[in-house]
Amino acid sequence: METSRSVKRSTTFSAADVMRRTSDPPLVARSMSVDGVEPTDDTRLSKFKGSFERRSIRRRPSKRFDRTDLKYGHDEDTYEAIRQRVFQERAVTNAIEALQERWNMLMFMYEDCMALNDEWKQRKLTKLSVKRQMELITIVTLFLVACIPAVVLMCIVCKINA
């Protein structure tokens, strides 16, 4: 047993707004040249992907106009009294001291880790420098080992020919 219900919607749009919203979508140019010589490809906005035709008009009521001024958050004297009373409790001061001690411990650990990291980087650079020096010494030694017999042989050949 179905009954048809008609919902009456009231809007505050004028007739011009309704005509503008229900009229054909505007023409949009896909390509346009600077001097206007090239032809433009005109098409309707509804042919683009993601475009849709609106069938109903809804208006969201603005909440800004109904908002009243908030009265809380301005009583600084009461807040200061509450803060003083809370800080005078022993449990709160103990918790604050424990947190400060933990913070000091974390900062000590952080500084220690940073120093360890700097030492590691310095040690790595030193090892790299020593490795490069050893490679240079090896290359010079191999060059001398290869060149000395050739020089001696050339000296012997020059003495024989002279």
- pLDDT at position 29 is 54
- Residue ranges for the chain with pLDDT beneath 50: 1
- pLDDT at position 74 is 75
- pLDDT at position 57 is 65
3-state secondary structure string, 14-73? CHHHHHHHHCCCCEEECCCCCCCCCCCCEEEHHHCCCCCCCCCCCCCCCCCCCCCCCCCC
- pLDDT at position 114 is 97
- pLDDT at position 9 is 55
